[in-house]
Amino acid sequence: MHTRLTGALALHLLVASASLAQEAAPTLAKASDGILPIPDYTGDLWTRRALLGDFNGGRTNLANAGVQFGIDFNQTVQSVVDGGRDINTAYGGTIDYNLSLDLMRMGVLPGALIKFRGESRYGETVNADAGPILPVNADFMFPLTAELDEGVPLAITTLLYTQFLSESFGVYFGKLDTFDGDPNEFASGRGLTQFQNLNFIFSPTPLVTVPYSTLAAGLVWLPTKHITLTTSLLTTADSSTTTGFDKIGDGWTWASEAQFQYRLGHLPGGFNIGGSYAWAQHFSTIGRRFVFEPGEGITPSPDADDSWSIYASAWQYIVADDSSESAETPMNLLDGVPDRKGLGLFVRAGFADEDTNPTDFAISGGIGGRGLLPSRDHDLFGVGVFHNEVQTRRLTSIVGLEDSTQGFEAFYNFALTPAAGLTFDVQVVEPATDRIDNAVVIGARLLLRF
């Protein structure tokens, strides 16, 4: 019997980026069926979903043998045209290399999957020039490095093994990145396809307790097609550019998340709720992932050795095409593209330990969707606002620090082809201090998927 597993391994800001198939079957016995569905690589340049295509059937043959790969190449130009710390224009790019090995489809081991992600980065951003606490270009912030905008030839941020013991229960361990955490139909996308400001990609409140790339182990349970429960233990220190073994013992984090999807009539919706608790770590140096101002850091709090965060997010279509898609089929929240033509609302909120977090409360919301204009069914769009409460005693080295910041972002993504998107973006963000005027940032992104 063909085996298809529900949902995706969304692991509380700990997603391994491997989308599983959408329907469960009662057995994992037939290894040739595999875990991952086979993508459609066929079509001409203007209709296929990968620019490289199918290699005359060779790529499909590889997928049938259990090997799937893809490359995302994103180039960004942004300008601070008013306010901020400096009027400036910057260009940079990122490359993501994704590889999935479906050991079940290979006939090696039923229910087994290996996920690999490598990342490269070059160029510069206006993250420092704009002046807010969190970046206006989230894609370029990761992998985390010692210096802002530091080039990354290659960093392995995910190398994760997942073993399903049944169609609904699995274990995982290895190294993973957290950028796909807290997935949302209208506000995720890793900064590639939808919003670019970090506030609209995931809740910023767990940034102290949950690193970007780290060693982890955990459990995933999918009791129904529309519910995913995960719990994880991970090292608290970030390992973006190391193996992670050198960070073992530098603090521990326990993180759990529950994801739900539902239908209001034919209109899909969903929500997530999760939390994290970190201990055995000195939360004294948060570093420049938050404050993008040369020479200005964060006042230490040496007595704090634990920290916590909780968050929730929700999304709901309010207009959607009358799709023939079954109500039993969950939305794919990890591809950064709304599954249905239409529009919907989203909201995201989080709380964190005020003694250890620069941002102890964050909320964002807005509207997004796909196919707003006639005959432009694959174009994406979104408009959102955010508000963050700032703990001034954690940032006292900054003169004139505001106790809250807010901002606005709007984007429109023109689908040149299903594998190429050109996005125009505008942001208005309030910097961290009253010495700097609100920054107006405009930009353009070109994403090519191979």
pLDDT digits (tens, 9 = 90+) for 46-81: 999 999 999 999 999 999 999 999 999 999 999 999
Residues of the chain with pLDDT > 70, as a percent, come to 84
> Considering Cα of 47, then 78, then 157, then 225, what sign does the dihedral take?
negative
Q: CA-to-CA distance for 193 and 76, rounded, in angstroms?
A: 12
Q: Which of 4-8, 234-238, 435-439 has the lowest mean pLDDT?
A: 4-8
Q: Which residues pair with 98 in a beta bridge?
A: 70, 117
Bond before 143 cis per omega within 30 degrees: yes
Using CB atoms within 10 Å of the CB of residue 194, give its burial: 0 to 12 exposed, 13 to 18 middle, 19+ buried: buried
Q: Which of 23-32, 238-247, 288-297 has the highest mean pLDDT?
A: 238-247
Strands 252-264, 152-164: pairing kind: unpaired
The reported pLDDT for the residue numbered 304 is: 66
The reported pLDDT for the residue numbered 329 is: 82
CB-based burial, 241-252: b 16+ in 10 Å, e otherwise: beebeebeeebb
Which uninterrupted H or E stretch holds 130? helix 127-130
Number of DSSP helices (H) and strands (E) in the chain, helices first: 3, 16
Q: CA-to-CA distance for 303 and 281, rounded, in angstroms?
A: 10
Q: What is the residue whose two structure tokens read 């875990």?
A: 35
Strands 169-177, 227-235: pairing kind: unpaired
The reported pLDDT for the residue numbered 131 is: 87
Using CB atoms within 10 Å of the CB of residue 235, give its burial: 0 to 12 exposed, 13 to 18 middle, 19+ buried: buried
Q: Is 198 helix (H, G, I), strand (E, B) or coil?
A: helix
Residue range 349-398, pLDDT digits in tens: 999 988 888 888 999 999 999 998 988 999 999 999 999 988 765 554 45
Residue 298 pLDDT > 60: no
| Cα maximum dimension of the chain | 65
Q: Which of 23-27, 144-148, 259-263, 271-275 has the lowest mean pLDDT?
A: 23-27
The reported pLDDT for the residue numbered 428 is: 98
Residue 101 pLDDT > 80: yes
Residue range 179-238, pLDDT digits in tens: 888 999 999 999 999 999 999 999 999 888 899 999 999 999 999 999 999 999 999 989
Q: How far apart are the first and last CA of the chain?
A: 32
Rounded to a whole number of angstroms, the CA Rg of the chain reads 21
Per the model's pLDDT, the better-predicted residue between 391 and 146 turns out to be 146
Residue 40 pLDDT > 80: yes
- What's this model's pTM, rounded to 2 decimal places? 0.86
The torsion angles phi and psi of 33, rounded to 5 degrees, stand at -70, -35
Residue 17 pLDDT > 90: no
The reported pLDDT for the residue numbered 359 is: 84
Domains with residue ranges and CATH for the chain: 31-449 (2.40.160.180)
Average pLDDT over residues 236-254: 90
